[in-house]
Amino acid sequence: MWTSRCLARHRQMIPLAVWLLGAVILLALVGCGGGGGGGGGATGGALELALVPGKMTQEGSSNMDVLFATAKGTGVSGGWIENQQGVKIPGSDLSFESVTGRYERLLTRPTDGFPTGTYVLKYLHGGETKEYRPNPLSWTVLPRFPSAPVKMWDSFTRYLTVQFSSIPGASVRYFLRMYNPNSGLLRKETFDTTASEIREYVPDIGDMQVMLVGDIREGGVLKARILHFFQASQF
């Protein structure tokens, strides 16, 4: 008798358990939605905004000028960049980087491809469109890495080493970014340093493209981003 009653109660509980499981899955899916203007993730913390010029050298390719935008903070859900005429620059929607927890966009053009002037970062904050307008941007006096950085890979220890000459006359923080060369997705970002060598353990196996980043800062504020892109290689 006890066994029969127990089995009966168990059969009655099965539909409830299935319903609860379905509800949990549904809530998880709903929670994955994102905002506009390149949304797709949630940032947190204090509001951090940047819109800066930069220079990029590339292993085996030509040099480029870059325009970098980033937005982070509680309530931020996307954004885009406008030019001097207040027109949205094509392809400038910020996308969410899950590795950094930021919305970002890096635009590239051939040298002297960005006219000097005032650019505007439009960002979505708390459901409202707001703007960040830095001082006029110029690419003419920005430095590059003085010489070509060197990348070394030890497949036995799985340590990546990048050596480079420091950018003179500026306060710079250096770090590495590693991308999937096929999708362009950011896979890894190292801690920043003032040293001229970065050594990082890489557990992931596959093709990746390494970017060396030098962030020029004044009073802790990002003012320019200097980049070197290595060719994709096997790790």
Domain ranges across the chain: 1-32, 70-132, 150-234
What is the CATH number that goes with domain 150-234? 2.60.40.10
User: Cα–Cα distances in Å, from 207 out to 9, 62, 100, 124?
Assistant: 54, 22, 21, 35
Residue % of the chain over a pLDDT of 90: 80
91 SS3 class: coil
For the segment 85-97, what is each residue's pLDDT rounded down to a tens digit? 999 999 999 999 9
| Amino acid of residue 143 | P
d(CA 213, CA 4): 69
Q: Strands across the sheet with 197-201, in order?
A: 150-154, 159-163, 197-201
Torsions phi, psi for 191 (to 5 deg) = -70, 150
The secondary structure element, H or E, covering residue 17 is helix 2-30
Q: Judge whether 64 and 110 are in contact, CB under 8 Å.
A: yes
**In terms of Cα–Cα distance, which of 216, 185, 5, 1 is closest to 104?**
185
The pTM (predicted TM-score) of the whole model is 0.81
Q: What is the pLDDT of residue 70?
A: 98
Q: What is the pLDDT of residue 44?
A: 78
pLDDT at position 169 over 90: no
